Amino acid sequence: MPTTTGAAPYVYLWLDATAPHLPCAAVLELYTDCWGPTAACKSTWRKAALEHGGALPCQLYTACTERCGGVPGLEPYVSAPTSQPLFLLFKGGKQVAEVRGVNPPALLRELAAAEGSGPAAVVRESECC
- Report the alpha-carbon distance of residue 79 to residue 66 in Å, rounded: 9
83-118 residue pLDDT tens: 889 999 988 888 899 999 999 899 989 988 888 755
For residues 6 and 36, which has the higher predicted lDDT (pLDDT)?
A: 36
Q: How many whole angstroms from its chain centre is CA 17?
A: 9
Burial of 28 (0-12, 13-18, 19+ CB in 10 A): buried
pLDDT (0 to 100) of residue 91? 85
- Whether 2 is in a domain gets the answer no
- Whether 87 is in a domain gets the answer yes
Host domain of residue 33: 7-127
The count of structural domains within the chain is 1
- Whether 66 is in a domain gets the answer yes
Burial of 98 (0-12, 13-18, 19+ CB in 10 A): middle
- Whether 95 is in a domain gets the answer yes
39-52 residue pLDDT tens: 888 888 888 888 87
- Whether 63 is in a domain gets the answer yes
CATH number where 103 lies: 3.40.30.10
